[in-house]
């Protein structure tokens, strides 16, 4: 006897569909999230900070402020690089 409803996959349980998904690489997702947060932090520091300096104190002060903010961004990048190397050295990733 033929079934009344011939939808493909109708006999599969929801549990079986969950097992068919590829495994999630949580370490890769964490690395990507950390990179995005780093980029957002540097953007806010340099662009938004420089813009606020320009609005409050004018363009000449903004140029000097952006140079100092870029130095601060370099320090943040350096620390991130050092911590990333330490993580690789101890076998975290």
pLDDT tens readout for residues 20-62: 778 888 889 999 999 999 999 999 999 999 999 999 999 999 9
With a threshold of 0.75, does the pTM exceed it? no
CB atoms within 10 A of CB 49: 18
**In this structure, are residues 76 and 37 in contact, taking their beta carbons and an 8 Å threshold?**
no
CA distance 27 to 13: 30
Q: Structural domain boundaries of the chain? A: 27-89
């Amino acid at each position: 006897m033929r079934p009344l409803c011939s939808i493909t996959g109708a006999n599969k349980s929801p549990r079986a569909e969950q097992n068919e998904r590829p495994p999630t690489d949580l370490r890769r997702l964490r690395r990507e999230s950390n990179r995005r947060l780093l980029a957002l932090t540097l953007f806010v520091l340099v662009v938004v900070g420089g813009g606020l300096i320009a609005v409050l104190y004018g363009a000449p002060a903004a140029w000097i402020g952006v140079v100092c903010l870029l130095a601060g961004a370099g320090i943040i990048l350096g620390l991130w690089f050092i911590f990333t190397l330490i993580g690789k050295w101890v076998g975290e990733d």
